[in-house]
């Protein structure tokens, strides 16, 4: 532990029964040099003031802190410890009063479970000259008093100012999130347990009466030794510096049994007390040699699918690159040991580790563990996990730790209590497999072959991370990753169990679906669907939504009550249509009640990262001969479904890509919570649903029915894209056991056509089909599986004609190739009704406009039409069209002024020199990938009541900032263009966002432009600074132009 020394002064007042404290300390900080801290604490006001001065850094600050809350959970537990200490003080006081005349010393006082407080006395034993906090024979802290302490019944008038707040203006801590970027000052009482304890006692309504004056004085006397700690964060532990280490550990959340006859003192939690023993099968051990990049994990598990077992894993990174796994089954007297080469880590996991490997442990706070005051140090791990390490900062070995915790999104995933540390040669010897193991290389024969030991690392992402970290990354980080493995011993050999979704009473989730059509003629096309799904399993009810975006957006709302189904379709320009039908002749068996268990159908594939979490991967194969499967990912940590892949097919012994990937965004596996705005009309009895009853007969012409065929691919059906999401949800959720068979069957065969579309002419399978003009929404035309090859040419023609599918991809997808939207704009944006901007009152008339934009990112082409009305009394409307084509190095613009004096003019600008086509290796094709999440959280999109958007920011230069507002469907909803130097913003609200391919004709100069004699102008160098081009088609253009133009 680093030696800290300092000096200062301490003042205490107990007037009116309210303790007040002033502590001034001067100490030398190894990091910041000489520092001075003055603390004033007043129990009457419940505030503490801290003045900090660091001369070498010229830092001088004053911050005001509220006292800690006694009712806080962590403080409530601490107060129990303080009351125990108060009782020790009172017992000590009575004992010393009886025996004071018999000697010239004071007996030590119990202060913590392992520390005692000793008093230093003058030679005549009449004065206390100091106090020592000791542990055994070691002095942890010593405070020496200079001279004779002054005391009195009242505070002298000249000294009253000592207990007053500083005369300077001290800022409240909550208003100063970063008091000093260099000092990194935290709340002093969150660094010093002594100060925190004293403040907790001072929160009492009657501190002196509750805690006694003697106890408060003694608590204050040990404060001066913490002055240096208050100035500077304690140094983090470095266990990797200890050389080869080993320790035993256990999870404190597991049951700890007190059994005197099984007592193992070396493993007892408190060796000096009654033996509280952890059962042997709950004790694990780790050996680590960071220099050799090797570790050993040993443990036992009492209950696995193969009975009680012991397992040893030795991993040797370095050049050897081998893993040894030794398993003993005690009950069966079986044993097996194999060795195999280091597994490879995928790029995603490797990048996740590299991103955080350089971050060191940093001080977080203080807390108590097993009666000892500990410092907590934290550092990030991969996949948004954090490790918290608890260190007894007053221990002989500050590089050893007492506990580690793994945190994820505010939850503690795993806690490890260290029971016994070991170092030395024995550790090194234990890191090589002994000959008695009889390890064989990759020999998976024998009675334990079913354990699949050679692939056991797939059951634990933490183990995969630790293996690679020990081989490639710094030792300190590798050791932290190793601590993330603790608790996974049983998991490594015990295949995770399939979650019993069929036991749930209800479930609610939101989803997004990437529907990939993988036929030969539609390779790579996709349709992005979002929605919500709520199921009451016990009552047989479902409320679901499926929404596709784009110029022809469709919203489908579905309601199922026992044996009744209703579907409402909303299309742009055609209003709302609703039909309902009986399911009695479709899905009567097993329609209501608990779904069928599928525990024997899901094959475990491994633990895999999905987003920032880790999920167990199961695969379900359909036994009906089609070999279509569902891949299912479930997070045990989050208790929720992560993802579903639907439609894998085995072709020539290989699996094709999935036909649909369903991403689960939010999951509630206990409650039935349908989305109120869209399903509101279905919250009453089905007799009162505002829907038209139809029979389930496709020949009668309804746009809604449930197919009676065994496979929708056998029928020539035209359906709206969102219904495919509902079909896939029915198909997948039925297979994983969430839906009863009847409901799953009805959903998987659901057919919903456009209510306003005419039937397509039937030309037989594989014929080309053009979309009729009367069709409002796009349809997906399904062809038989057997006729896929014959349908390829027809599908390609349909895709090229944009008649079959509206294709939407994520606005941040690297696959984004084109996008289209219409817009309404306001310039400047400041001064809108309700805006509190002080600048708004000085703004004059604001311009408003509407228009549309079409961009081809691959060909670097842009079309825009904008229309501004009522600019002035003489300019009722101005229309501008712009076409930019990089391949021709030219931009055309046409402006029409419509009014009493109409005007029309065309321009042609050469762009090849100033708008060069960038190399995609230097600049991403998707321009939105440059934007960064602002971290401001979601907010309501202006102009709407409920649409939530996330803000992303990118800078065009030092004075121009672009804000992209993206909705939950990952579609661009609005753009703000900020001119920071002029404090003016242009706001653009987007409509009808689509990422479908743009027809070539939009980029042609039509006859209606009337551009027979365009003007050729020479300010082309300014084009690269036009906001429109910089946002959508950025380039490395020369900077420094002061005169910019806005399209």
- pLDDT tens digits along 170-185: 888 777 655 443 333 4
Q: Please confirm whether the linkage preceding 105 is cis (ω < 30° from 0).
A: no
SS3 741: helix
Are 565 and 627 in the same domain?
Answer: yes
Whether the predicted pLDDT of 1 surpasses 90 = no
In a domain, 567, yes or no: yes
Please identify, among 437, 457, 484, the residue that sits at the C-terminal boundary of a domain: 484
Whether the predicted pLDDT of 923 surpasses 90 = no
3-state secondary structure 760-803: CCCCCCCCCCCCCCCCCCCCEEECCHHHHHHHHHHHHHHHHCCC
In a domain, 874, yes or no: no
Instruction: List the structure tokens of 119.
Output: 């008093």
Are 732 and 851 in the same domain?
Answer: no
Do the bridges between strand 309-316 and strand 294-301 make them parallel or antiparallel, or are there none, so unpaired? antiparallel
Are 472 and 516 in the same domain?
Answer: no
- Answer yes or no: pTM beyond 0.75: no
In a domain, 469, yes or no: yes
In a domain, 431, yes or no: yes
Which residue segment(s) compose the domain that 170 sits in? 7-231
Whether the predicted pLDDT of 204 surpasses 80 = yes
- How many distinct structural domains can be found in the chain? 4
**Residue from 783, 176, 216 nearest 519 by CA:** 783
pLDDT single digits (tens) 709-731: 644 443 445 678 888 889 889 88
pLDDT of residue 792: 37
Do the bridges between strand 640-648 and strand 890-898 make them parallel or antiparallel, or are there none, so unpaired? unpaired
CATH number reported for the structural domain that contains residue 626 in this entry: 2.50.20.10
pLDDT of residue 858: 85
Helix %, strand %, coil % of the chain (to 5): 25, 35, 40
Looking at the chain, how many residues does it have? 1047
Please identify, among 170, 198, 231, the residue that sits at the C-terminal boundary of a domain: 231
Q: State phi, psi for 852 to the nearest 5 degrees.
A: -150, 155
Supply the mean pLDDT for the chain: 74
**Residue 987 near residue 831 (C-beta atoms within 8 A):** no
**Residue 517 near residue 526 (C-beta atoms within 8 A):** yes
Are 194 and 214 in the same domain?
Answer: yes
> What are the angstrom distances between the C-alpha of 753 and each of 389, 703, 730, 775, 780?
59, 5, 18, 10, 9
Are 122 and 150 in the same domain?
Answer: yes
Are 479 and 511 in the same domain?
Answer: no
785 band by pLDDT with thresholds 50, 70 and 90: very low
Instruction: List the structure tokens of 777.
Output: 């929404």
In a domain, 673, yes or no: yes
Are 153 and 16 in the same domain?
Answer: yes
pLDDT single digits (tens) 385-435: 889 998 887 777 778 888 888 888 778 888 888 888 887 766 767 788 888
Instruction: List the structure tokens of 512.
Output: 């997004």
Are 314 and 410 in the same domain?
Answer: yes
Q: What's the longest Cα–Cα distance across the chain?
A: 119
Please, which residues have CB within 8 angstroms of residue 444's CB and are 6 or more apart in sequence?
Answer: 338, 452, 453, 454
Please, which residues have CB within 8 angstroms of residue 342's CB and are 6 or more apart in sequence?
Answer: 315, 317, 321, 322, 323, 467, 471
CA dist 466 and 478 (Å) reads 6
pLDDT of residue 519: 35
Please identify, among 484, 518, 533, the residue that sits at the C-terminal boundary of a domain: 484
799 band by pLDDT with thresholds 50, 70 and 90: very low
CATH number reported for the structural domain that contains residue 1027 in this entry: 2.50.20
In a domain, 884, yes or no: no
pLDDT of residue 575: 81
Whether the predicted pLDDT of 51 surpasses 70 = yes
CA dist 368 and 607 (Å) reads 35
pLDDT single digits (tens) 518-573: 333 233 333 578 899 999 988 888 999 998 876 668 899 999 988 889 999 988 77
Please work out, in degrees rounded to the nearest 5, the angle formed at the alpha carbon of residue 922 by the alpha carbons of 916 and 923: 70
Whether the predicted pLDDT of 285 surpasses 90 = no
Are 432 and 517 in the same domain?
Answer: no
In a domain, 426, yes or no: yes
pLDDT of residue 794: 37
Instruction: List the structure tokens of 483.
Output: 């601590």
**Residue 415 near residue 251 (C-beta atoms within 8 A):** yes
Instruction: List the structure tokens of 878.
Output: 């101005």
Percent of the chain with pLDDT over 70: 69
In a domain, 881, yes or no: no
Q: What is the mean pLDDT of residues 790-817?
A: 53
Q: What is the mean pLDDT of residues 982-1000?
A: 87
Are 465 and 545 in the same domain?
Answer: no
**Residue from 61, 64, 5 nearest 37 by CA:** 61
Are 386 and 471 in the same domain?
Answer: yes
Most confident of 1-5, 342-346, 499-503: 499-503
CA dist 246 and 995 (Å) reads 57
Q: State phi, psi for 132 to the nearest 5 degrees.
A: -130, 135
**Residue from 46, 379, 430 nearest 237 by CA:** 379
Please work out, in degrees rounded to the nearest 5, the angle formed at the alpha carbon of residue 179 by the alpha carbons of 173 and 183: 135
Are 476 and 546 in the same domain?
Answer: no
Q: Where is pLDDT greater, at 933 or 983?
A: 933
Q: Where is pLDDT greater, at 461 or 958?
A: 958
pLDDT of residue 451: 44
């Amino acid at each position: 532990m680093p030696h800290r020394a300092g000096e200062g002064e301490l003042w205490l007042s107990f007037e009116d029964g309210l303790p007040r404290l002033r502590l001034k300390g001067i100490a030398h900080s190894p990091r910041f040099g000489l520092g001075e801290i003055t603390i004033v604490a007043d129990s009457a006001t419940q505030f503490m003031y801290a003045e900090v001065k660091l001369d070498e850094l010229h830092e001088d600050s004053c911050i005001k802190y509220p006292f800690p809350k006694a009712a806080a959970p962590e403080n409530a537990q601490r107060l129990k410890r303080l009351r125990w200490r108060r009782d020790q003080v009172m017992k000590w006081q009575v004992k010393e009063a009886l025996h004071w005349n018999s000697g010239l010393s004071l007996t030590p006082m119990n202060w913590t479970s392992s520390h005692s407080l000793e008093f230093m006395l003058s030679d005549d034993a009449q004065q206390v000259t100091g106090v020592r906090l000791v542990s055994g024979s070691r002095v942890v802290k010593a405070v020496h008093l200079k001279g004779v302490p002054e005391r009195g019944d009242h505070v002298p008038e000249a000294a009253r100012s000592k207990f007053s707040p500083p005369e300077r203006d001290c800022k409240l801590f909550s208003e100063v999130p970063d008091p000093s970027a260099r000092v990194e000052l935290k709340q002093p009482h969150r660094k010093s347990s002594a100060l925190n304890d004293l403040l907790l006692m001072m929160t009492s309504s009657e501190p002196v009466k509750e805690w006694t004056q003697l106890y408060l004085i003694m608590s204050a006397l040990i404060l001066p030794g913490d002055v240096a700690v208050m100035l500077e964060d304690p140094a983090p532990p470095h266990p990797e510096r200890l050389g080869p280490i080993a320790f035993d550990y256990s999870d404190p959340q597991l049951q700890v049994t007190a059994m005197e006859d099984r007592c193992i003192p070396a493993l007892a939690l408190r060796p000096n007390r009654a033996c509280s023993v952890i059962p042997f099968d709950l004790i694990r051990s780790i050996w680590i040699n960071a220099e050799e990049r090797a570790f050993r994990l040993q443990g036992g598990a009492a209950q696995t699918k193969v009975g009680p077992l012991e397992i040893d894993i030795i991993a040797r990174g370095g050049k050897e690159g081998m893993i040894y796994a030794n398993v003993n089954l005690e009950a069966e007297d079986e044993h097996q040991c194999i060795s195999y080469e280091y597994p490879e880590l995928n790029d995603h996991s490797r990048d996740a580790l590299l991103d955080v490997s350089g971050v060191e442990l940093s001080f977080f706070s203080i807390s108590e563990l097993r009666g000892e005051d500990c410092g907590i140090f934290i550092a990030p791990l991969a996949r948004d996990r954090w490790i918290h390490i608890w260190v007894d900062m007053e221990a002989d070995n500050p590089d050893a730790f007492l506990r580690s915790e793994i945190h994820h999104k505010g939850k503690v995933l795993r806690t490890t209590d260290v029971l016994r540390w070991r170092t030395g040669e024995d550790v090194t010897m234990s890191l090589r497999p002994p000959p008695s193991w009889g390890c064989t290389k990759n020999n998976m024969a024998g009675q334990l072959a079913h354990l699949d030991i050679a692939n056991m690392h797939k059951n634990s992402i933490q183990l995969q991370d630790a293996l690679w970290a020990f081989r490639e990354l710094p030792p300190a980080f590798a050791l932290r990753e190793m601590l993330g493995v603790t608790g996974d011993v049983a998991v490594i050999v015990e295949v995770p169990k399939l979650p019993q979704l069929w036991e749930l009473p209800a479930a609610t989730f939101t989803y997004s679906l990437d529907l990939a059509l993988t036929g030969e003629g539609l390779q790579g096309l996709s349709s992005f669907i979002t929605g919500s799904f709520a199921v009451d399993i016990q009552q047989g009810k479902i409320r679901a939504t499926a929404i596709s975006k784009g110029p022809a957006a469709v919203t489908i709302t579905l309601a199922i009550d026992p044996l009744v189904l209703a579907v409402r379709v909303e299309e742009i320009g055609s209003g709302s249509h609703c039909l309902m039908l009986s399911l009695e002749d479709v899905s009567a068996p097993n329609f209501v009640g608990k779904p069928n268990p599928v525990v024997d159908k899901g094959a475990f594939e491994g633990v895999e990262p999905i987003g920032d979490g880790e999920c167990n991967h199961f695969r379900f194969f359909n036994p009906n001969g089609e070999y279509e499967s569902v891949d299912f990912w479930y997070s045990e940590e989050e208790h929720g479904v992560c993802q579903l892949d639907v439609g894998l097919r085995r072709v020539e012994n290989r699996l094709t890509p999935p036909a649909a990937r369903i991403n689960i965004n939010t999951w509630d596996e206990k409650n039935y919570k349908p989305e109120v705005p869209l399903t509101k009309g279905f919250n009453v009895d089905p007799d009162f649903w505002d829907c038209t009853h139809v029979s389930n007969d496709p020949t009668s012409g309804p746009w809604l029915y449930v197919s009676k065929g065994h496979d929708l691919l056998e029928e020539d059906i035209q359906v709206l894209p969102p219904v495919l999401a509902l079909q896939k949800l029915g198909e997948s959720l039925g297979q994983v056991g969430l839906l009863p068979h009847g409901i799953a069957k009805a959903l998987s065969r659901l057919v919903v056509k456009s209510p306003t579309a005419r039937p397509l002419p039937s030309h037989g399978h594989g014929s080309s089909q053009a979309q009729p003009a009367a069709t409002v929404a796009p349809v997906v035309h399904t062809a038989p599986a057997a006729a896929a090859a014959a349908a390829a040419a027809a599908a390609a023609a349909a895709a090229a004609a944009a008649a079959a599918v509206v294709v939407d991809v994520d606005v941040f997808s690297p696959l984004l190739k084109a996008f289209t939207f219409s817009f309404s704009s306001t310039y400047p944006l400041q001064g809108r009704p309700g805006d509190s901007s002080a600048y708004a009152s000085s703004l004059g008339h604001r311009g408003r406009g509407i228009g549309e934009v079409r961009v081809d990112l691959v060909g670097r082409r842009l079309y825009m039409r904008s229309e501004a009305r009522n600019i002035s009394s003489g300019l009722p409307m101005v229309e501008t069209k712009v076409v930019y084509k990089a391949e021709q190095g030219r931009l055309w613009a046409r402006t029409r002024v419509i009014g009493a004096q109409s005007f029309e003019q065309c321009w042609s600008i050469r762009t090849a020199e100033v708008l060069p086509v960038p190399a995609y290796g230097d600049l991403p094709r998707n321009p939105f990938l440059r934007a960064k999440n602002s971290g401001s959280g979601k907010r309501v999109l202006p102009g709407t009541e409920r649409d939530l958007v996330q803000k992303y920011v990118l800078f065009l230069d030092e004075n121009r900032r672009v804000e992209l507002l993206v909705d939950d469907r990952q579609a661009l909803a609005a753009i703000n263009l900020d001119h920071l130097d002029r404090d003016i913003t242009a706001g653009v609200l987007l409509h009808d966002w689509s990422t479908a391919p743009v027809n070539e004709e939009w980029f042609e100069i039509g006859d209606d432009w009337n551009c027979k004699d365009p003007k050729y102008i020479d300010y082309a160098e300014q084009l690269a600074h036009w906001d429109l081009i910089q946002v959508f088609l950025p380039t490395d253009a020369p900077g420094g132009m002061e005169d910019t133009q806005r399209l």
